[in-house]
Amino acid sequence: MTPVAEGGTLIALIALGIAAYLALCARLYAQITRVPPDSPIFDLLDDPAAFSIGGIDCRPYLMPRYETVEFRDRSGTVGIAGWLIPAHAALDAPTVVIVHGYTASRRDPTVLLAAGMLHRHGFAVLAIDLRNHGDSGRTGGRHTGGVRESADVLGAWDWLVHDRHQPAERVGLLGFSLGAASVLIAAGHEPGVAAVWADSSYGDIDEATAAELRRSRLPTFLLPGGRLVARLLDGPGLTAVDPIHGIAAMTGRAAFVTHGTADSRLDVRYADELIRAAGTAGVRIESWIVEGAEHTRAILEHPAEYEQRLVAFFGRALTGGAPSARP
């Protein structure tokens, strides 16, 4: 074989290897980011007026008056479904947008419990379904770690502020897991967001992706290819922005970070990273690291303390003092 032929063969082998590597990365990217359409939580019949959680008396948190609403995400490309739960008294009560986690929906009992905690203390609540979840529109059937989902959150914020004429300084965001990442990224994009509560978020997208690969027992050398595939399939995909940059952009605003020390899905170190980034940036940061709590389980394992901290935080951030509690 001539040197030229040998060189051509080598180039062909290298090209074949790169193609195989990218094909593997694309397959794994689709697998890791896929939102299963048959998630059991999508079939829940729970709603604000009727939901239950084992070991918790949910009667004080039921919300019989609610309205099913729909609006577009901030980019205008997908319809977002939600429940608007008005405050029991004041028409100008502060409102908190609540966002569920991966493979969940607004029917998630954790979301409904958080909504009930706020509602019984005089807040209005808007619980939404992220794209590819629940009753919201579908866009490829994948999640983007909160990057695209942040537009869904901002669509809810826009709807409240511009369509329902709610003062921006009286609208807060609350999210669990993927929802927590989404609200932090949203607050980084929108300086009008007054306050954010983030329960069990990741911090840096590359660290979280590498951890997910290790958790799935996959080699981390796939990460660079995964970044490229993300850009090819989803534009900015998972690499454009992340929660740690979102919270660092909240200078002068209020944020609360909570995380369990026993979280096996997203390590508690992400909370430490978010808290440090917020403190460095001059964010009015508060935190609660919950000993022994699993992923997003603090609200279920310590409901009374969770309620007290949640209501106090949004009371300070959105009203200068908690709204009046329901008798």
The pLDDT score that the predictor gives to residue 204 is 86
pLDDT in tens, the chain (327 residues): 565 455 556 677 677 767 777 677 667 677 777 888 777 666 678 999 999 999 999 999 999 999 999 999 999 999 999 999 999 876 679 999 999 999 999 999 999 999 999 999 999 999 999 999 999 999 888 888 899 999 999 999 999 999 999 999 999 999 999 999 999 999 999 999 999 999 999 998 877 777 776 776 767 776 676 666 666 666 654 555 899 999 999 999 999 999 999 999 899 999 999 999 999 999 999 999 999 999 999 999 999 999 999 999 999 999 865 555 444
Q: Is 234 within the bounds of a domain?
A: no
Residue 38's CATH number: 3.40.50.1820
Q: Is 7 within the bounds of a domain?
A: no
CB-based contacts of 172, cutoff 8 Å, min separation 6: 94, 95, 96, 97, 193, 194, 195, 196, 197, 314, 317, 318
HSE, CB side, 13 Å, CA atoms: give it for residue 38.
0
Helix, strand, or coil (residue 254) = strand
The pLDDT score that the predictor gives to residue 304 is 97
Q: Is 19 within the bounds of a domain?
A: no
The pLDDT score that the predictor gives to residue 140 is 81
Element (H, E) at 301: helix 298-301
The pLDDT score that the predictor gives to residue 23 is 73
Tell me 75's DSSP state.
T
How many separate domains does the chain show? Answer: 1
Q: Is 113 within the bounds of a domain?
A: yes
Q: Is 212 within the bounds of a domain?
A: no
Q: Is 215 within the bounds of a domain?
A: no
Q: Is 3 within the bounds of a domain?
A: no
pTM assigned to the model: 0.88
Q: Evaluate whether 28 touches 80 at the Cβ level (below 8 Å).
A: no
Contacts of residues 52-60 at CB distance under 8 Å and 24 or more positions apart, as own/partner, are: 52/109, 53/109, 53/113, 53/300, 55/300, 56/113, 56/300, 56/303, 58/109, 58/113, 58/116, 60/116, 60/120
Q: Evaluate whether 303 touches 98 at the Cβ level (below 8 Å).
A: no
Q: What is the spatial distance between Cα 119 and Cα 323, in angstroms, rounded to a whole number?
A: 10
Q: Is 39 within the bounds of a domain?
A: yes
The pLDDT score that the predictor gives to residue 327 is 40
Range of the domain at 197: 34-204+242-319
HSE, CB side, 13 Å, CA atoms: give it for residue 25.
22
